[in-house]
Amino acid sequence: MRTHTSENTTSSESTDSTESIIELSGVDFGYTSTPVVADVSLRIDPGEYVAIVGPNGSGKSTLMTLMLGLVRPDEGVARLFGEPAHEFDDGSRLGYVAQHASASKEMPITVREVVKMGRFPHVGFGRLSSADWDIVDEALATVGMTAFADRRVTQLSGGQRQRAFIARALAGEADLLVLDEPTVGVDMESVEAFYDLLDSLNGDGITVVLIEHDLGAVTEHAERVVCLNREVYFDGPASEFVESDSLARAFGTTANLLGGSR
């Protein structure tokens, strides 16, 4: 059993003493002189389930790269598990699922070899133990990909590939899962099941940060919503987000709450 589940199960409401998972204060960032993200401050505590929403080009993915320390803020401070985000290197605490464009597309590699990578931060320069392989196989079973374990990733459909990447994040047994539009290309039924899976992982005490364009799914599953369009337009409980006008302000148009933005 993972150690964090016992400590953190009840912590989703208590924001007092424990270290923050993610803390941004006054963060500005731009690839050019135009800022993509301006003056963003937010704190995510252990056990939270936070969705980050916003229109295309609103800086959601950039905010994620700032949180993960892949880029450094121009102004302000980004902290991950209490350390400056760019210095944080304990990959075993982090699980990451990208929009499905990120990985190599032609490489001969099996689903199981991809999921295996989730264990790399735990084994370092060593070999995977049989316990590690058990975790890999469990993760494959969790996403329903056991039958595809020895298939080449290149032969999979988009949704199947995405499941493999989710399994890789699960195999990492991380404290924090960061997902950037993880369900793009996944069939509708699996999307439902996938959100249920995230719910149950969050129930185990894992902190979930989800970047999503499907507003319907977000308001249904996440506890807290951060609405972003360069600046933070809304940060609060998902239920209040539905009633606020921040959505219209951030998107600038009327957006469909029922997932019609697909």
Binding site for another protein (CB under 8 A): 1-2, 5, 68, 70, 88-92, 94, 96, 98, 102-104, 106-110, 112-114, 117, 120-121, 123-125, 138, 141-148, 150-152, 160, 163, 165, 168, 170, 172, 178, 190, 193-194, 196-197, 199-201, 203-204
Which residue in 112, 187, 98 sits closest to 149, CA to CA?
A: 112
DSSP symbols for the chain: --HHHHHHTTTTS--SSSPPSEEEEEEEE-SSSS-SEEEEEEEE-TT-EEEEE--TTSSHHHHHHHHTTSS--SEEEEEETTEEGGG---GGGEEEE--TTSS-SS---BHHHHHHGGGHHHHTTSPPPHHHHHHHHHHHHHTT-GGGTTSBGGGS-HHHHHHHHHHHHHHTT-SEEEEESTTTT--HHHHHHHHHHHHHHHHTT-EEEEE-S-HHHHHHH-SEEEEEESEEEEEEEHHHHHHSSHHHHHHSS---TTTTT-
User: Is 77 or 109 the residue whose CB approaches another protein more closely?
Assistant: 109
The minimum distance between CB 147 and another protein, in angstroms, equals 3
Please give the Cα distance from 197 to 183 (Å, whole number): 12
User: Is 108 or 252 the residue whose CB approaches another protein more closely?
Assistant: 108
User: Is 171 or 247 the residue whose CB approaches another protein more closely?
Assistant: 171
> Contact, 175 vs 207, CB < 8 A?
yes
User: Is 124 or 252 the residue whose CB approaches another protein more closely?
Assistant: 124
User: Is 190 or 261 the residue whose CB approaches another protein more closely?
Assistant: 190
Indicate if the alpha-carbon torsion angle 156, 159, 160, 166 is positive or negative. positive
User: Is 21 or 250 the residue whose CB approaches another protein more closely?
Assistant: 21
User: Is 61 or 244 the residue whose CB approaches another protein more closely?
Assistant: 61
The minimum distance between CB 61 and another protein, in angstroms, equals 11
The minimum distance between CB 37 and another protein, in angstroms, equals 18
